[in-house]
Amino acid sequence: MKKQAGFSLIELVVAMAVLALIMGAMVHLFGGSVTSLHTGARQEVVYEEARLLMNELKTTLRYADKDSIDPEQPTVSTNKFSYKGNLWDRHMDIAQGTNKEYKVTVEWKDDTKKQLQVTREDITDGSKKITVFPNDSNNSIFEGKFPVTSETLTLNDGNTVILYKIALPLQYEFNGQMKTQTLETKVVPSKDEVTETPEEKMLKEYTNLVSIWHKLRNGKGLTSSERNSLDDFKKFFNENSDLLWQLGSNDEIRKYLLREKYGGIWPKVDINGKTVYMNPYGYDNRKDPITIDNIFLIGYTELDKTGWYVNYVYNQEDKHWYYSKNATALNKPLNEIKEMLKNSKWQIVTKS
């Protein structure tokens, strides 16, 4: 009778030992991957917290009223820093925007000075947004040093400006060790910078008045800067009522801007060697007042010319002036004007 072949006990023990070594290596490798994944996720969360807060502080401080900044020159020993400002909520598209007033307060969350608390208040409606950084105090390396400091810069013309430095340090665990990183940026409030072109400035001035008109008609409150603008407008027309009809009139708004903002002469730009006088216009359909999405600029080569027939028009989307040899009537909505500019008879021209 033939003897059946099989594994001896020693062979089985050796095979099991080898299998155990292989499985152990795989578990170790898989466990390390999971740990790295979790560590990477923690790192990403902390970094994202810092990035979002940095953008918030940088943007609001850039548009802050420098007279509202308290203290004006913060140091690492500062405990509380605040400022107010006005921010166009859609400032990349000025014709669609609306002005909002805010107050930002930056302070330590508690006496440990390990976490920062930033409160942004919408002064118009009283709503508040509170951000704590870092959300987990174990990721903090502030060491009691306030993250907003300042330095004074002397410009070439001899004037000085205050530059604010924002530094957000953070730490996270990586491979069993704590790693550190600091996000830094510097910003100067925009009132100390030339950030608007003459075209943007004129559009904003006109749009701001129309925005005030619509807020008043809808029973909405005004920001402090809007209230100041309205008071100046009322004083010019010797009116007492907030709901004065002139705020809905293109001719009256133009009259106010021309005399009060531009000294009786519209600003001029040089286009291909020609002097062109910029004029703001607001379109309405005779039934409803002007809306903020129907405000645009046109240009005349004659100083005192008025009316809708023009050769020059400014496209605020691409920030270019357009010229047509034949004067065209522009008493139409802005969206129709934008379509018109796509016609071959309108050409982009360059400012000198």
Q: What are phi and psi of 304, to 5 degrees?
A: -100, 10
Q: 125: burial class by Cβ within 10 Å (0-12, 13-18, 19+)?
A: exposed
Residue 296 belongs to what H/E stretch? Answer: strand 295-300
Distance, CA of 226 to CA of 102 (rounded, Å):
13
| pTM metric for this prediction | 0.51
Beta-sheet strand order (sheet of 320-329):
268-271, 274-282, 295-300, 309-315, 320-329, 347-349
Q: What DSSP assignment string belongs to 169-221?
A: EEEEEETTEEEEEEEEEEE--GGGS----HHHHHHHHHHHHHHHHHHHHTT--
Please say whether the beta carbons of 316 and 298 come within 8 A: no
Please say whether the beta carbons of 56 and 63 come within 8 A: no
Report the pLDDT value the prediction gives residue 21, as an integer from 0 to 100. 75
Report the pLDDT value the prediction gives residue 90, as an integer from 0 to 100. 52
Domains defined for the chain, CATH in brackets: 28-192 (no CATH), 198-349 (3.30.1690.20)
b/e string for 243-266 if b means 16 or more Cβ within 10 A?
A: ebebbbbbebbbebbeeeeeeeeb
In the chain, which stretches have pLDDT less than 70?
Answer: 1-7, 11, 24-44, 88-99, 156-158, 174-176, 191-196, 286, 352
For 202, other C-beta atoms within 10 Å of its C-beta total: 22
Residue 225 belongs to what H/E stretch? Answer: helix 224-237
Take residue 331 and report the two structure tokens written for it: 């008493």
